[in-house]
A and B are shown apart, each in its own frame.
Chain A
């Protein structure tokens, strides 16, 4: 049984955020957490790695190269991660696993259930993990077990039994109780305070708002989840798992000066952003356009938070609260920057 392991630049030992642009590369045997998988009985013949930013910005090229490596090795299984809560890494793991599975190589990734990479994984398997690397010791044996099962070609049972995340597939089976009885069970459970469901829900959709009829008369607001804050982060916005959002007056400034602003986002290398914060929140350009009359008026303040490991329910609340203020202020359009 042979496996190929996918990791990002950090777990491959190539460097941190400064090496996030590393193109795909192949390393002999197991590296980093791969050694933990080997200890669990997974024979890793090669490790393939790619920088998180490189994968995000050159997905087609990265995938092609990584899949070539995979074809050269012809393993019985591809293991990707664990990526925990890291969004770019998780996305790369999920996308690669899905592509490998489509091409006939069984694949399993590991990451936090709220990682956007879970959706990217499609029909490939995803083992749930904790949100950060403290969960490595817990994750590796579970990941190894699933990898071994896939490599053997064993048919897997349902998610709860085998320890992977539901993939939204429906499989028919004969239940002991009829649907009517199970529905009553669920209802009684709900009345008792325990909400369960047999079919999982997805994210809801929102209709696109109508286009702005007259931008030259509109009030435009700048919002960001890139963690842009005044120098020194006076309100202590978190770098990860933001607890709140903040509204900062622009004081009629023409630009976000590097001396007065910085980014505290913990999910990407903020060097370029700190050299020129307009790269995250385009105040200089927006002011020019306001002077030229292209937009009516720029909102007097901008809104900021850190979009890094924020649970869906929390970011939904932030969105509602910010939206409430924007509506009250009569804002007609928003430019939102994300990373």
Chain B
């Protein structure tokens, strides 16, 4: 819901979560599947870097509603 309300004002949001199905049901539009509930942004810096960079790519991409990206394609 946070994602949707921020998006409603026109600011693009990337939502990183390990439950993308719930995120799409609620209606978030830019979603990245995180590795785990206990650490959505990864365990180590290397993994974190990959996740954040993927999130930035998604921010730079025009999308259809409820788009879910994996970190590694």
A226 to B15, CA, bound (A): 12
User: What string of 1s and 0s marks CB contacts (under 8 Å) between B38-73 and chain A?
Assistant: 111111010011011101100111111101000000
- A332-B1 contact in complex given A116-B25, A208-B30, C-beta closer than 8 Å: no
Asked if A154 is at the interface of the complex by the 8 Å CB criterion, the answer is no
A122 to B36, CA, bound (A): 25
Chain A, 285-339, CB within 8 A of any chain B CB = 285-286, 288-289, 294-295, 305, 307, 310, 312, 315-316, 318-320, 322-324, 326-327, 331-339
B29 touches A116 (CB 8 A): no
> B residues within 8 A CB of A56?
18-19, 37
A282 to B42, CA, bound (A): 9
Q: Which of A162-170, A181-189, A269-277 contacts B (4 or more CB under 8 A)?
A: A269-277
CB-nearest residue of chain B to A204: B27
Asked if A134 is at the interface of the complex by the 8 Å CB criterion, the answer is no
CB-nearest residue of chain B to A321: B5
A57 touches B6 (CB 8 A): no
- A323-B11 contact in complex given A271-B38, A337-B16, C-beta closer than 8 Å: yes
B22 touches A209 (CB 8 A): no
- A285-B5 contact in complex given A226-B40, A270-B38, A280-B39, C-beta closer than 8 Å: no
Chain B, 1-28, CB within 8 A of any chain A CB = 1-19, 21-23, 25-27
6 more contacts with CB within 8 A, not counting A310-B1, A336-B2, A336-B13, are A208-B30, A208-B63, A208-B64, A209-B13, A211-B61, A212-B59
